[in-house]
Amino acid sequence: MKINQIEISNYRSCIDTKFELATNLTALIGINGVGKSSILYSLQLFSKSDRNRRFFVNEGKEELLNTQINLQITIDERVVLVRSSFFYETDERNLDEVFYTEVKYRFLGEKSKKWQLIDSEIFEVVEYIKRKPLIILPKQFQSETSKFSINLVKTLSSISYYSATQFSDPSKCPISIELEDYRINPKLRASKNHQMFIYDLYRAQNSKESTFELFLNTVGANGLELIESIDFHVHEIPSSSYKVRTGGKIQKIESTKKIIVPSIEIDGLKLSPNQLSEGTFKTLALVFYILNDKNEILLIEEPEVSVHHGLLNSIIELIKQQSKFKQIIVSTHSDYVLDMLSPENILLVRKKGVSGTKAQSLTKALSKNDYEALKNYLQTRGNLGEYWKEGGFESE
């Protein structure tokens, strides 16, 4: 699936924001505070909508925030219009919790102009499939309409988001993790990024379908030379718990816990992840997810944060390469990142008073004369980052 066009209404600074995306790689550029993050966060509403709470259909909506996101997408060579309405709350950490989502769609260019509303049960099926993949769908969901609806919701709700700031302060990373905790509670991902990174690394190492070897080659001696190796030591530790039964009897339950202890070798030293520098830890995490995330749409916020230019060059090249296989949207305010991109991949993001965040391709954001000046500059003098730094875009 590819997103061709996005329209965001009533989400933070995105009051009425509409723009087109490049097929593979789009970079949102702009100064701080113009709404680049708001655009990425709005798309994450889809990933928070796999559990639809039916009791909000007729009541409770008026007390919640409401955002509309309309998409034009291409899926299985068909162009589809998607209309989505999200009802949610935002907590003190600026995190959104979606309570109810309404999604409908229709196929563009086909005879029927009827909108197909996706039933709440579809969201429940998608949530179940994510936890336990189904070989055969229940009979009531085997129609072509139901299958398409499930595929659409599954793909949109699997939009992935990564930011270098997620992996700040490696000291937050534990020395070990208890394997069963992460198998039971995948929702930990939202609040425990460091722990989930270690768990995902361990799981990838033991998966036949992962790109773990490619990851090691990329960050190892043949690539970025960040590390020499990663090992995981698994320890089984006896554990006891107690259960109070009828009549006050106490039952002792004996079991074992699997403890995973990661070890990363650098310059011949075996280190725990929390002993790594912040730049090394962030780069390892970003490279791993760029390579290993199998979802079709990837959002990456400010990959340049706390990363040395030498490493950043490799990360951007990796993003460009992986955008051949998945659609990637990057936000940045780094002229160094722009140096490595082409004008057709750029959306200039601005904030215009009461009208809020606006995003435009360079051909639309610049006048004809300014765009010709940009092309001449790129051919004769420098690159995009330098042009931006020198004030070539009027927003600067």
Cα dist from 356 to 76, 86, 97, 383, whole Å: 34, 19, 23, 29
DSSP state for residue 274 in the 8-state scheme: G
Return the exposure string of 212-249: e unless at least 16 CB atoms fall within 10 Å of the residue's CB, then b: beebbebbbeebbebbbebeeeeeeeeeeeeeeeeeee
- Kindly tell me the sign of the dihedral angle through the C-alpha atoms of 97, 190, 322, 360: positive
Residue with tokens 């296989």: 325
Structural contact between residues 295 and 266, judged by C-beta atoms closer than 8 angstroms: no
User: What pLDDT, on a 0 to 100 scale, did the predictor assign at position 51?
Assistant: 57
CB 88 within 8 Å of CB 65: yes
Give the pLDDT score at 59.
Answer: 62
pLDDT in tens, 92-124: 888 898 988 999 999 998 888 899 999 988 988
* Residue 43 near residue 82 (C-beta atoms within 8 A): no
Distance, CA of 155 to CA of 151 (rounded, Å): 6
- β-pair type (2-11, 78-90): unpaired
Quote the CA–CA distance of 56 and 101 in Å, as a whole number: 9
Domain ranges of the chain: 171-277
Tally of CB atoms within 10 A around 82? 20
* Residues of the chain where predicted confidence (pLDDT) is lower than 70: 50-60, 134, 182-191, 394-396
pLDDT of residue 57: 56
Q: pTM to 2 decimals?
A: 0.90
Given this model, what pLDDT does residue 395 score?
A: 45
User: In Å, what is the CA distance from 197 to each residue of 72, 130, 162, 212, 285?
Assistant: 33, 19, 11, 13, 7
What is d(CA 1, CA 73) in angstroms, rounded to the nearest whole number? Answer: 7
Distance in angstroms (rounded) separating the CA atoms of residues 6 and 18 = 6
Q: Distance between CA 302 and CA 285 in Å, rounded?
A: 14
> Would you state the pLDDT for residue 131?
77
Q: What is the pLDDT of residue 20?
A: 97
- E-state strands within the chain: 2-11, 14-20, 25-29, 65-75, 78-90, 96-107, 116-117, 160-163, 177-178, 229-244, 250-266, 269-271, 297-301, 327-332, 346-351, 357-361
3-state helix, strand, coil in the chain (%, to 5): 40, 30, 30
